[in-house]
Structure 1
Amino acid sequence: MPKLNTFFQSFMLFGMMFFTLISCSNRNLASDDSSEASYIGVHNSKNSLDWAGVYRGVLPCADCEGIQTEVKINDKSEFILSKRYLGRSAQVLVSEGFFTWDEYGGKIFLENEQMSFMVGENRLILLDKDSKRIKNDTGEDFNLVKKTNNIRNKKWYLVELNGEEIHINETLKKLPYIQFEEGEKVSGHAGCNTFHGSYNLSDGNRISFSQMGLTRMACADMETEQNLMEVLEQADNYHVRADTFQLNQARLVPLARFEYRFFD
């Protein structure tokens, strides 16, 4: 009888160990499954960021000064890639196609271009062929920055003034432009002379210019310059959308329209 009890106790102990191992194994499998499942539902760049748009910047180049690059991506998985090799050619190369996401929704791959990016908040981070970040000499990423409606640090070219289109011609040798800099400083070229001064932005897209100064050259076409400087005095509000900047006075017809040209 004691031998039977010993056998029974050993059998029960073995059974308990067996069920413990099975239970642990199942928990591990469940943990693995839930980990994979949770990755599918986790917030990532693809489902959490407003990633569609236009991204611009200069990427590294082995035999030129840099590659001026623009990438447009949309929610149909289409891309348009424009690039120019600085210091080597003025030609802008354009290609288009489709892009795909990686399984984790954090990286995109431009088909037929051998280019990939990590998608961040308002930026695309260049990756190498192994999908690793490429760093510059100071350890920083190479980024393309998403275009916004910010008017600063861009060269805005005048394309329309008082309802008339502006073009380079025999008398207007250079297209006028304006630049808004940090510290509320403004500068530009009026068609003949360069100008500089100050500007102020306030709520409701209000704008004002002050302390404007001009160089004193004489040119064949002074009318465009005079009209542009008058517009800067009259303008009290602005509108910006995509690559177009517009100066207005009250709710009247637009006084001047400018365009930002990334590859100029």
Structure 2
Amino acid sequence: MIRAFLVTLGTALLLASCRATPQQAGHGPAPESHPAVSDASLRNTRWVVRSLHNRAISTPAGGEIYLLLRQEDFRAEGYAGCNRFRGTFSQPAANGLQFGPLLTTRMACPDSAGTNTETTFLAALAATRTYRVQGDTLRLYADQAAQPLALLHAVYLR
């Protein structure tokens, strides 16, 4: 029984190693030296903020600043550094992204630097008009902007 399993396994490995790659078959570009990373989904992914206006941010004591765009109902929610927020978003065109009014909690925030980060993040969301996802990175842009308002990294939900 074990011998039959080993023979079957060996045959499967041999056949798998004999498959032609796209380049060997004459199709497509040469494979890259590292595996390609597929783009994360804009929706139902927890996007953790890494920088605002090209400035790295530190994680506040209350936890990571993040954005979550719900798959089902065009609802946006997240944590801005001191307060939680929630509201709506729309995608008016390909790569278009706009946020409706965002409601926030009104917690007393002891750290003025954290409050400044929160204000900057919420203003960036309000100014967002387009986005780009590349791998596990989301960039939010204002109209015709060359530099992103915010850079976020994906943390996947189950």
Q: Is TM > 0.5 for Structure 1 vs Structure 2?
A: yes
Within a 5 Å distance, the mapping from 1:226-241 to structure 2 comes to 226-241=119-134
Q: How big is each residue's C-alpha offset from its partner over 1:121-172, in whole Å with a ceiling of 9 and x where there is no partner?
A: xxxxxxxxxxxxxxxxxxxxxxxxx95442111110000101210122xxx2
- Say yes or no: does 1:258 pair with 2:152: yes
Considering Cα pairs closer than 8 Å and 6+ residues apart, tell me whether 1 or 2 has the greater RCO.
2
Percent identity among equivalent residues?
A: 26
| Counterpart residue type for residue 251 of structure 1 | Q
Q: How many angstroms apart in 2 are the aligned matches of 1:243 and 1:149? A: 5
Partner of 1:105: none
**Cα 1:213/1:260, change in 2 over 3 Å:** same
Gap regions ≥5 residues in structure 1: 1-39, 48-74, 80-145
State the shift of 1:213 in Å: 0.3
Partner of 2:45: 154
Q: CA RMSD in A?
A: 2.7
**Cα 1:149/1:175, change in 2 over 3 Å:** closer
Which one of the candidate residues 114, 124, 140 is aligned to 1:247? Answer: 140
Task: Please give the secondary structure, in 2, of the residue aligned with 1:202.
Answer: coil
**Cα 1:262/1:208, change in 2 over 3 Å:** closer
Which one of the candidate residues 57, 66, 69 is aligned to 1:177? Answer: 66
Q: How many angstroms apart in 2 are the aligned matches of 1:184 and 1:262? A: 18
Equivalent pair of 2:40/2:133 in contact (CA under 8 Å) = yes
Equivalent pair of 2:39/2:136 in contact (CA under 8 Å) = no
- Say yes or no: does 1:214 pair with 2:104: yes
Gap regions ≥5 residues in structure 2: 1-14, 23-30
Within a 5 Å distance, the mapping from 1:80-229 to structure 2 comes to 147-168=38-59, 172-173=60-61, 174-181=63-70, 182-219=72-109, 220=111, 221-229=114-122
Residues matched between the structures, number: 124
| Counterpart residue type for residue 156 of structure 1 | W
Higher radius of gyration, 1 or 2: 1
Task: Please give the secondary structure, in 2, of the residue aligned with 1:206.
Answer: coil
Task: Please give the secondary structure, in 2, of the residue aligned with 1:251.
Answer: coil
Task: Please give the secondary structure, in 2, of the residue aligned with 1:155.
Answer: strand
| Counterpart residue type for residue 159 of structure 1 | R
Task: Please give the secondary structure, in 1, of the residue aligned with 2:97.
Answer: strand
The TM-score normalised by the length of structure 2 is 0.69
Within a 5 Å distance, the mapping from 1:34-113 to structure 2 comes to none
Task: Please give the secondary structure, in 2, of the residue aligned with 1:198.
Answer: strand
Q: How many angstroms apart in 2 are the aligned matches of 1:167 and 1:194? A: 17
Equivalent pair of 2:128/2:149 in contact (CA under 8 Å) = yes
Q: How big is each residue's C-alpha offset from its partner over 1:51-84, in whole Å with a ceiling of 9 and x where there is no partner?
A: xxxxxxxxxxxxxxxxxxxxxxxx58x88xxxxx
Q: How many angstroms apart in 2 are the aligned matches of 1:185 and 1:147? A: 24
The TM-score normalised by the length of structure 1 is 0.42
